[in-house]
Amino acid sequence: MKKQCAGNPFCDALDPETRAYLCEHSTLIVQMPKQIQSTDQGNPHLELIIKGVLFTFNLHEDGTQEFIHLIKKGDVLGTRQLFESLRIPEYNMMTLTEVHKCSIPLKVAETLYKENRVFAQALMENLLDMMNNLTRWVSMRSRNGTEKVQKVYELLQDLDTDMTMITQEDLALIAGVSRITVARAMKEIYKK
C-alpha cells in the first residue's frame, strides 16, 4: 500500500492484495487549490480521492454554474462508468484544497469489480455513502440561505479545508445562494 493511502476509508476496506494491485495500476495525481478540470470522456478511469476536498458542478449554456456534489477523502469518482446503462453527463471539478487522487484505468476497475468480491463490496459501500451525502444536500435545499451557508461553512471546516482559500463565490456556488446571502451569513458566522 502506498503511504498516501494510509487511513483512506476506501483503501482500508480492501484486502492487502487488492490494494497492491490497485497501486500497481494507478497513477497518483496532485492538484493544487482552485484548479478546474472537466471530465475526460475519452479516457475513462476511476479517481480515488486520497487527500483533500473538491466539488463537482455543471456549467449551463447561459454561463451559470450549478453545484452537484462535495467530494472528500475516500470518495471514488467515475463509478457510473462501470454500469453501461447509465449515461454520463459531462461535469467539471474544482479543487478547494490540495487534492491527491489515484487515477485507475476503467479496464482495471471493471476487472476487479467483476472478479473481486471485496473490491465490488467496497465500491458499492462507497456509492451508498455518496448517495446518502447527496440526500443530505437535497434536504439542505429546504433551509433558508443563511442556514445553507453556515452548514456548508461548518462542513468545509470539518473536512480541514483552509477557509482562507474559500471565496464568497465558492460558498455561494456550493450553497446555491447569492453572494449577498453569503455576505450576510458570514457576518453571523464571524459573530460566533
Q: Is 56 helix (H, G, I), strand (E, B) or coil?
A: strand
d(CA 58, CA 38) in angstroms, rounded, equals 10
CA atoms within 13 A on the CB side of 24: 7
Report CA-CA distances (Å) from 65 to 62, 103, 106: 9, 26, 28
Radius of gyration of the chain (CA): 17
Model pLDDT, residue 7? 74
Confidence of residue 1 (pLDDT cuts 50, 70, 90): very low
- The percent of residues in the chain predicted with pLDDT above 90, rounded, is 31
**Domain locations in the chain as residue ranges:** 3-140, 145-191
Fold of 3-140: Jelly Rolls (2.60.120)
Q: Which residue type, as a one-letter code, is found at position 132?
A: N
Neighbour count for residue 70 (Cβ, 10 Å) = 22
What pLDDT, in 10s, does the model give residues 58-110?
877 887 777 778 888 889 988 877 776 556 667 888 899 999 999 999 899 99
pLDDT reading at 36 higher than 70: yes
Confidence of residue 137 (pLDDT cuts 50, 70, 90): confident
Give the CA dihedral 136, 140, 141, 146, nearest 10 degrees.
Answer: -160
Q: Minimal CA–CA distance to 81: which of 107, 54, 48?
A: 107
Give the CA dihedral 14, 17, 23, 24, nearest 10 degrees.
Answer: -160
CA atoms within 13 A on the CB side of 131: 8
Report CA-CA distances (Å) from 88 to 40, 75, 138, 154: 11, 18, 20, 31
Segment holding 102, helix H or strand E: strand 99-105
* Global confidence as pTM: 0.81
